[in-house]
Structure 1
Amino acid sequence: MGKLTANEVKAALGKPGTYQDGDGLILKVDRRGGAAWRLRIQHQGKRSDIGLGSAKLVSLASARAKAAEARKAIREDGRDLLAEKRKTKAAAVTFREAALALHKAREHQWASSKHGSQWLATLETYAFPTLGKKPVGDITAGDIIAAIAEVWTAKPETGR
């Protein structure tokens, strides 16, 4: 481990490419000048990369320390760091925020503006009262069933 030196990292920041430090720690420099530290890991037989930060903000020593910490968490504690990161992101977004963002992203796909408005009104009426303030990552199948159970039987098309 520790193939790169601080001077080599500084020089590499100007040349696009992938630079291996060893033990899974990688410095990736793109053509536009961006550079980031990545850690290649394997958890439950699946290989993936974890971002450790910008190489312009995180020094080689800090990247090595972060990498060692992450490897320890995976090997000794059996943690899935990527799943934890996804869960943290999902916890930061409520169902209402996610639904409104989806509605806006699909604005051009609605059959008509009326259809898009109806979709949003249906969520306002039936889903937002129970699910609106809940973080997306905390919503379970039971929550969804409870939210639509009444409308499902009364208005199957709307429930769908």
Structure 2
Amino acid sequence: MALSGKLTKKLVENLGAGRHGDGGGLYLVVDPSGARRWIVRVTVKGQKNKKGAPLRTDFGLGGADVVTLNQARDRALEYRRMAKQGLNPRFNAQRDIPTFEEVAQQVHIDRMPTWKNAKHGQQWINTLRDYAFPKIGRMPVDSIDQPEVLMCLSPIWTEKHETARRLTQRIKIVLDVAKSKGFRSGENPVTAIKDAQVLPKVKVKVKHHKAMAWRDVPAFYADLKGRSAISAKALRFTCLTGSRTGEVLGMRWEELDFYAGIWTCPEIRMKNGEDHRVPLTNEMLEIIEPLKAMQSEFVFEGQKRHAPLSNMSMLMLLRRMGIEGVTVHGFRSTFRVWASEAIGADREVAEMSLSHTIGNAVERAYDRSDLLDRRRVLMEKWSEYVNSFEQV
């Protein structure tokens, strides 16, 4: 017969943040985030703590999403019986602990709605699949400590440092989630490794995207303007707006306000996770308005109907034009250098035109303007310059 207590299945699912007792030392703990886990408080017979008082200890029994109310009561009863016999449950209890890989896969599933795109979410789990699962994937998640984490990080720490840095973050997240569900206790070993500076410091060279000199842009743009391919139109628009490839290629018609002359790129495609308004110049409008006739969901449609151009389309066009050593992303840098060297534009206006974050969190809280009018003037000057090539 099932054990009984104060809680019910409905209460377990709906109780707010706090510690809610079921009786017999069993508690449901609801975090402010909404995460729910079970703990049991027992007093081990005949054992004392450091102060000489009876040894009273809390033990995690697992998350309420994987451990039912009746299972939690059964486990709590098992812990109380051991404590009554003078056995510390920490060393004597039998628990079903998931493996590191099982927890990681669940974290990946739970976070799917939060990924910017499917590719980003797949990269998250692929890093763990390639570098963590072969070493610690089958280990119970509560048995992973600093040596096990170092087994994953050390082989790639210097040679693939950026990958190792991301792997570090993802292992930490998995272990933090495991702790929140009651499968682990104590400090996260990733934090301990970082604080102790166990791994050597790696000097990472910043890799800049190769950019075209701003003085060469008008001649290049004139060549580009004479091409009718959709990739050429997309590259022209990218040069003029200083936007990132994914922002431009993912552009849909509903993002454009032709009356106000504004393109609003939604936060899901923005690197900083915030909507970004781009003032549309006449040159930009001249590119995109004729494309309405295609009646596609995307402004720059690719080979498949109602699908955007591929990410490589503009780069491949550059190569066909004989432009070597220049990337599409590099035109952002070209615009920024031009704004500084050619016309002495205000730093804040130029940086905000590239959707860069300006100032610290406090400054941004007080100054919420996106300087749209001043950016429109700057983008008009850039469009005029880009389109200023004269045939000799």
Shift of 1:112: 2.1
* Pairs aligned (count): 119
Gaps of 5+ in 1: 1-24
Distance 1:148 1:49 in 2: 29
1:75-114 paired onto structure 2 within 5 Å: 75-80=84-89, 84=93, 88-90=95-97, 93-114=98-119
Report if the CA contact (8 A) 2:59-2:90 is conserved: no
Q: Percent identity?
A: 27
1:74 aligns to what? 83
Shift of 1:140: 2.0
Equivalent position amino acid for 1:129 in 2: P
Matched, 1:28 2:6: yes
* Cα pair distance change 1:28/1:131, threshold 3 Å: same
When the two structures are superposed, what TM-score results if normalisation uses the length of structure 2? Answer: 0.25
1:158 aligns to what? 163
- Which structure has the larger Rg? 2
Report if the CA contact (8 A) 2:42-2:79 is conserved: no
When the two structures are superposed, what TM-score results if normalisation uses the length of structure 1? Answer: 0.55
Shift of 1:109: 1.5
Shift of 1:80: 3.1
Matched, 1:133 2:138: yes
Q: Alignment partner of 1:153: what SS?
A: coil
Distance 1:31 1:156 in 2: 47
Q: Alignment partner of 2:116: what SS?
A: coil
Report if the CA contact (8 A) 2:79-2:93 is conserved: no
1:39 aligns to what? 24
Gaps of 5+ in 2: 13-21, 26-40, 44-54, 62-68, 166-392
* Cα pair distance change 1:115/1:138, threshold 3 Å: same
Equivalent position amino acid for 1:136 in 2: V
Shift of 1:78: 4.2
Report if the CA contact (8 A) 1:39-1:49 is conserved: no
Shift of 1:99: 1.0
When you count helix as a share of all residues, which structure comes out higher?
1
* Cα pair distance change 1:27/1:104, threshold 3 Å: closer
Q: Alignment partner of 2:130: what SS?
A: helix
Distance 1:48 1:123 in 2: 29
* CA deviation vs aligned residue, 1:114-153 (integer Å, no higher than 9, x gap): 1111111111211111112222122221011011111221
Report if the CA contact (8 A) 2:100-2:138 is conserved: yes
Distance 1:129 1:81 in 2: 28
Shift of 1:38: 3.7
Report if the CA contact (8 A) 2:42-2:80 is conserved: no
Q: What's the C-alpha RMSD, in Å, of the aligned pairs?
A: 4.0
Equivalent position amino acid for 1:159 in 2: A
Q: Alignment partner of 1:133: what SS?
A: coil
